[in-house]
Chain A
Amino acid sequence: GQSLEQPSEVTAVEGAIVQINCTYQTSGFYGLSWYQQHDGGAPTFLSYNALDGLEETGRFSSFLSRSDSYGYLLLQELQMKDSASYFCAVRDLGNTPLVFGKGTRLSVIA
């Protein structure tokens, strides 16, 4: 089976940088995804890493280290609208569904 660990809550100041970590345990590994979910809203895809290294998309970046079974989501120039829950998710090899972590609730304060 798979398991993921990520902090339950993070608070950061508007304009700052925040990093949300995710460690995972899987029997196989296809890639690590990140999803954002605002209160009452649907999860939306942010990024996907299959290989080691950093992927950058605007203010958001995602990093993966396969050897450490570890990844993180980096949010820069934080805005109030970034207040949301962020989920990491992994997929095992083969036709297996995504398994989501319990999510990290990010609160951006002024």
Chain B
Amino acid sequence: DSGVTQTPKHLITATGQRVTLRCSPRSGDLSVYWYQQSLDQGLQFLIQYYNGEERAKGNILERFSAQQFPDLHSELNLSSLELGDSALYFCASSIHSGGADTQYFGPGTRLTVL
């Protein structure tokens, strides 16, 4: 158990819908990262927050947005969902914002768009 929690574990929805994925980082970690992993693909970095502020942005679609709240939990919002958005979405956390920080991953949310 990494100490990072994600809810829900599974999510099945229809095209065009909007969903929210939730992540609680390890106690004491200030950074939260979101990744997308499609079938047989690597981990695609979406976005990073550090202590409530956006720190880095990857290949995140405009239909996707995220935020980190004062209690450091984070939410990833996916809207106007398409079939291609079906994937595993991982949240990871680390103490600081980079450098040699180890990232600890949550169990992931499996999103299926029908």
Binding site for B on A (CB under 8 A): 30-31, 33, 35, 41-45, 48, 50, 87, 91, 94-103
Q: Is the interface of B mostly helix, strand, loop or mixed?
A: loop
- 8 Å CB contact of B42 from A33, A45, A95, A101: A101
Q: Is the CB of A97 within 8 A of B105?
A: no
Closest 4 CB pairs of A and B: A42-B105, A102-B42, A100-B43, A95-B98
B56 touching A96 by the CB < 8 A rule?
yes
Chain B residue total in the interface (Cβ 8 A): 24
Interchain nearest-CB distance for A28 vs B (Å): 12
Query: Cβ of B98 and Cβ of A30 under 8 Å apart?
Result: yes
Partner among A31, A33, A42 whose Cβ is within 8 Å of the Cβ of B106: A42
How many Å lie between the Cα of A48 and that of B33 in the bound state? 18
Contact status of A91 and B2, CB under 8 A, knowing A45-B103, A97-B33? no
Q: What residues on B are CB-neighbors of A96 within 8 Å?
A: 56, 98
> Do B56 and A44 touch (CB < 8 A)?
no
